[in-house]
Structure 1
């Protein structure tokens, strides 16, 4: 595809205008898949698809008949529709689907779907980008990952003939439906579940930072508070109108003050542990809990703490911590 035509703004414009009205079927299929996967059409529809997948898992040879089944599902309804039109002496259905006119509601819906798809693809790329250095031997984790993969590969080789593939694929295929069930999503949004998730994230971040400590950092940590510690700072935001915005505009959370909360001056002889960064207190332990998923603790205009869902919120704060250590005199020089 990259060798067919040279780059041209005119060609790009023409092809994009052709693509927008013809992309509706792709997004229609994606919407139907989302409805089934997210249980939006009721439990009967999703359960029927789950039963069909389970049937294919136990009779995998039936997959060879799927192309026939898909085409028959298109041919038979259209044949019945044509027969009904002939019996009623009505005009037959069109042979091809009409394309939406540029500027129409359907055309704008396709354009919006393309916009959202581009954002989703960009989010996936940004999500995968931090993992690439670990796979290209740019970090210290590349060697342990390589060893783990080689070890598990060699261990799985003799076990492959004994793995029950049908139950394995059945479990792997039905697991997404169970994870997207409304009850599961409600449990995931429970405050206790969020607290456990935040606790796991903090433990993972702390373990990652400990693994990156240099020998001199471990030596300073062993000496206790005389050579090892941490500093904390608070990030503050208030709910107010942006500067220059009309009174009818919506309020937004804006930082308080012009000085960054992370500009912390250390006592001479102390330095931040590198390459660590500031770590957010996601649990809100400094306020006795009550933080949201991002670590914000909300308060009213008087500074009294409120719940994440309470009304009257005017201020919000969250604590950040960073470890420091006393640099030996030889290293300071």
Structure 2
């Protein structure tokens, strides 16, 4: 039976390579081991097993890998084997020996569409037209292909015509009666040392080049239209697509799809005819020469458009493109998004110094409160020394010129649920006299119990450190507040820790072209 087996391969012209682009060829050939032709995976040579062990140390482990194979990235599973160079080489040889039927079909389709044999192309157009006019024929098409293109040739092979004894060329006579005169043919893979095997490799490399060229050409055409690199162009495409989709939802059932497919398919095949292409090119040249010879008056003002039936018609392709750009010119410049950023001015006071001995430490994006992770870990606050070194977040730019001090420190302290701190409460009065005349928005750490004065234990504080003015300790507070600065008086009366901070805010707006900001200290982006 092997002697009568048939090998499907493209023995005709090579599968052409599309000339869309000219990428630089990469020659990453690897020698094929002649000793690993066996299909058994267990009979690998020592070189293959050594190379597999080497790849286990190089190839990263897959995310969805089983725990049993966690230590071996190349280990096999019951369903799908892992990566193996000998297995991949063996599978490639098997694939290349059997892929010839695909290239044979591709070559025949190209011959039909390129009018190599006009009778075949016309027959295809008739069949296509019948299917377009009556789509129900698609159900019978697979059976027709099975009968006419598979079973009839197989039957003719079993019943060949008798040998001709005449010297004249006559039509062979097929006998459909009697026993079979020839054995049945079978399809077998192409041997690895045959020309068909190398023809398949040739067509396979050409198909890979075609796919790469089509992929790159598609990306180069559609990516600029859809990735919003040019926001005006992509917005126009999106707007046109939205309007078209909305229109098709309402009018799709009214479109004559049969006639559209019939006219479109026949026009595409006929346009590929060499004679039709020459006729169309000559017709376009005649039309272009006729338009150039016409002496049409230009519109007033010397414009480039011509008046035809009351409508302005562009006189050149460049004028037509400019007219289209004016029609689709949409404005994508909207008011940029605005946010409020914050920075904290952190000050430090050395233990044992006076209550007024605060020193400017730095500007930090975090308040460095007593329960912050960096504070608990023993890390020093991070930031910059001056306001000028504070940079806006990446993709944003400053809108306001100055930083503004946030005097209402209660809001951000409560919002962050910060405990163990004291802060100023503006507008609190006692006996008609303002206890806090001026506030600076400071939030200071409360001292520990060991460092706090004993007389402060009788005073009542709220959950977040602000004073309860409705308690009985209010007269004591008023008596203890001197006529000087409130910050120094409050610190003297209640005691403070080693750190205090206050919040500064500034308005930023989003940039059109996102660019990274500075590398010193970024302010924290908040909400509107």
Give the TM interval when normalised to the shorter protein: 0.5 to 0.7
**Greater alpha carbon shift after TM alignment, 66-75 vs 4-13:** 4-13
Instruction: Indicate how the Cα distance of structure 1 residues 184 and 201 shifts in structure 2: closer, same or farther if over 3 A, else same.
Output: farther
Instruction: Indicate how the Cα distance of structure 1 residues 98 and 152 shifts in structure 2: closer, same or farther if over 3 A, else same.
Output: same
Instruction: Indicate how the Cα distance of structure 1 residues 18 and 201 shifts in structure 2: closer, same or farther if over 3 A, else same.
Output: farther
* 1:102 maps onto 2:192 in alignment: yes
Partner of 1:183 in structure 2? 275
Contact persistence 1:37–1:176 (CA under 8 A) = no
Instruction: Indicate how the Cα distance of structure 1 residues 25 and 159 shifts in structure 2: closer, same or farther if over 3 A, else same.
Output: same
Cα distance between partner residues in 1 of 2:321 and 2:276: 24
Q: CA deviation at 1:122?
A: 0.7
Alignment of 1:145-294 (within 5 A): 145-186=237-278
Q: TM-score, normalised by structure 1?
A: 0.53
Which structure has the highest helix share of the two? 1
Deviation track 1:77-113 (CA, whole Å, cap 9, x = no partner) reads 312332448958744132x223322232211111110
Instruction: Indicate how the Cα distance of structure 1 residues 51 and 89 shifts in structure 2: closer, same or farther if over 3 A, else same.
Output: closer
* 1:132 maps onto 2:223 in alignment: yes
Q: CA deviation at 1:188?
A: 7.2
Instruction: Indicate how the Cα distance of structure 1 residues 174 and 101 shifts in structure 2: closer, same or farther if over 3 A, else same.
Output: same
Cα distance between partner residues in 1 of 2:242 and 2:81: 44
Instruction: Indicate how the Cα distance of structure 1 residues 204 and 30 shifts in structure 2: closer, same or farther if over 3 A, else same.
Output: farther
RMSD between aligned alpha carbons?
3.4
Q: CA deviation at 1:20?
A: 1.1
- Segments of 5+ residues of structure 1 without an aligned counterpart are 213-333
Q: CA deviation at 1:18?
A: 0.8
* 1:68 maps onto 2:153 in alignment: no
Query: Which of residues 109, 121, 127 is equivalent to 1:46?
Result: 121
Cα distance between partner residues in 2 of 1:171 and 1:78: 36
Alignment of 1:17-96 (within 5 A): 17-42=93-118, 44-73=119-148, 74-84=150-160, 87=178, 90-94=181-185, 96=186
Q: CA deviation at 1:164?
A: 1.2
Contact persistence 1:36–1:46 (CA under 8 A) = yes
Partner of 2:338 in structure 1? none
* 1:15 maps onto 2:91 in alignment: yes
- Segments of 5+ residues of structure 2 without an aligned counterpart are 1-63, 65-78, 162-176, 289-315, 330-528
Q: CA deviation at 1:61?
A: 0.6
Instruction: Indicate how the Cα distance of structure 1 residues 146 and 189 shifts in structure 2: closer, same or farther if over 3 A, else same.
Output: same
The structure number with the bigger radius of gyration is 2
Q: Secondary structure at the match of 1:60?
A: coil
Q: TM-score, normalised by structure 2?
A: 0.35
Cα distance between partner residues in 1 of 2:279 and 2:321: 22
Q: Secondary structure at the match of 1:98?
A: coil
Q: Secondary structure at the match of 2:136?
A: helix
Cα distance between partner residues in 2 of 1:202 and 1:126: 31
Cα distance between partner residues in 2 of 1:66 and 1:201: 48
